DNA sequence: TTTATATATTTGTCATACTAACAATAAGTA
DNA sequence: TACTTATTGTTAGTATGACAAATATATAAA
């Protein structure tokens, strides 16, 4: 593999991930959608699987638990989600998408899909499969937990 | 293209980029290398092309200017770089890798290469070329400046 | 029942990403 | 020269990411 700095996958990955997030955020802002890319990821996911607790949702969306707490704080402040107490386990909350939250997901989804497709111009279904395979392989190569599981 | 959260390239990209950075940082910390991944990227690059000004270096390493200012502040505090005044243009500094900086690049490079290869297990040269092509395509699709250039 | 351990969430700290506003300097122009 | 515009870099504010530590509650063990 080439060892030149700018040929390294880590630089390319970081740069591209940032570009995608940055582009999406600018499009959100241009439409006056008062939400960040990471916040969107979460409410979009809540629309599919509502009423999970924070830990589960954090894991699903790939966020650190402290980071997740803070993002939910902001979503609650915006009225898009709420924390529901569970009487049978008072350690955890269920994160619930409010009616406003559901409305926003419906309202904003088409634009989000359009933005997502924009990045994929000139690429094929096969490219997607390859990308997914390569990224998943890298992820697994570095994931301590998965490595442990595989050794069992 | 699939629309599920876990099948979106943006999620995969973000997740993988973070995993790579996180893994590298943990390995740095384990070796007591007092440096972050982003700081390393910059001194590694300075070792090839020393004495550029901040704007040029920020562009090369893909950082925005405010972020770059802060990273250079930290690198200078650690004695790895220094800002040199240019008499003919007093707006900008040349960023200079100190002797300690050069020493650290030499000292740490082998471990960094090892860490980089770790993520690439089970992948081929062809995978690398594909990944690079796909990521570059996504980047170009979203890059306003390049788009403008291409239209000329 | 008391103690120990595990789970869920929060708080604090540092680093980075991005935006906006600002200061200093340089370069172009009337 | 004086005015305007562009460039370079900094600072401040908000959001996120990673990690360590604290808090509250639940569960298991002695």
**Taking the C-alpha atoms of A123, A126, A127 and A128 in order, what is their torsion angle to the nearest 10 degrees?**
100
Q: CA angle, corner B140, sides to B136 and B145, nearest 5?
A: 140
Average pLDDT over residues A101-128: 92
Find, in chain B, the residue whose alpha carbon is nearest to that of A128. Answer: B9
Does residue A21 surpass a pLDDT of 70?
yes
Alpha-carbon distance of B139 to A141, in angstroms, equals 25
Q: Within an 8 Å CB–CB cutoff, is residue B123 touching chain A?
A: yes
Q: Which helix (H) or strand (E) holds B134?
A: helix B125-142
Question: How many CB atoms lie under 10 A from the CB of residue A71?
Answer: 23
Rounded to whole angstroms, the distance from the CA of residue B98 to the C1' of nucleotide D21 is 37
Residue B5 pLDDT > 60: no
B87 CA, C24 C1': Å apart: 14
Which CATH code for domain A31-121? Answer: 1.10.10.10
Residue of chain B whose alpha carbon sits nearest to that of A139: B16
User: Using 50, 70 and 90 to split pLDDT, how confident is the model at B2?
Assistant: very low
User: Sheet holding B52-53: strands in order across?
Assistant: B52-53, B93-97, B81-85
Q: In this complex, which residue's CA is closest to the C1' atom of nucleotide C16?
A: B67
pLDDT at B127: 93
**With left for phi above 0 and alpha for psi between -120 and 50, is residue A62 left, alpha or beta?**
left
3-state secondary structure of B89: coil
Residue with tokens 């300690």: B100
Question: What is the average pLDDT across A32-61?
Answer: 92
CATH architecture for residues B13-111: Orthogonal Bundle (1.10)
The alpha carbon of residue B20 is apart from the nearest alpha carbon of chain A, in Å, by 7
| pLDDT value of position B4 | 56
> What pLDDT score was predicted for residue B87?
87
Write down the pLDDT at residue B78: 95
For B15, the closest of A23, A119, A139 (CB atoms) is A139
Q: Is the CB of B91 under 7 A from strand C?
A: yes
Rounded, the Å distance between the CA of B67 and C1' of D16 is: 14
Protein CA at A62 to nucleotide C1' at D30, angstroms: 39
Does the CB of B143 have a partner CB in chain A at under 8 Å? yes
Separation of alpha carbons B107 and B99, rounded Å: 12
Residue carrying the six token digits 């890298």: A138
Strand C at less than 7 A from CB of B66: yes
Query: How does pLDDT run across B79-128, given as a tens digit for each residue?
Result: 999 999 988 898 999 999 999 999 999 999 999 989 988 999 999 999 99
Whole-angstrom Cα distance, residue B117 to residue B100? 26
Whether A119 has its CB under 8 Å from any CB of chain B: the answer is yes
């Amino acid at each position: 593999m080439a060892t030149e700095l700018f040929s390294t996958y880590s630089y390319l990955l970081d740069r591209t991930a940032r570009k995608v997030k940055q582009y999406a955020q600018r499009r959100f802002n241009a439409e006056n959608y008062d939400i960040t890319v990471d916040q969107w990821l979460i409410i979009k996911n809540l629309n599919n699987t509502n009423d999970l607790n924070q830990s589960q949702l954090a894991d699903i969306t790939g966020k650190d638990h402290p980071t997740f707490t803070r993002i939910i704080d902001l979503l609650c402040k915006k009225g898009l989600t709420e924390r529901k107490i569970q009487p049978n386990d008072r350690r955890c909350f269920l994160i619930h998408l409010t009616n406003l939250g559901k409305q926003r997901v419906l309202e904003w989804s088409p634009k989000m899909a359009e933005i997502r497709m924009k990045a994929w111009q000139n690429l094929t279904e096969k490219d997607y499969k390859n990308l997914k395979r390569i990224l998943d392989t890298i992820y697994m190569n570095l994931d301590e937990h998965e490595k442990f599981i595989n050794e069992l």
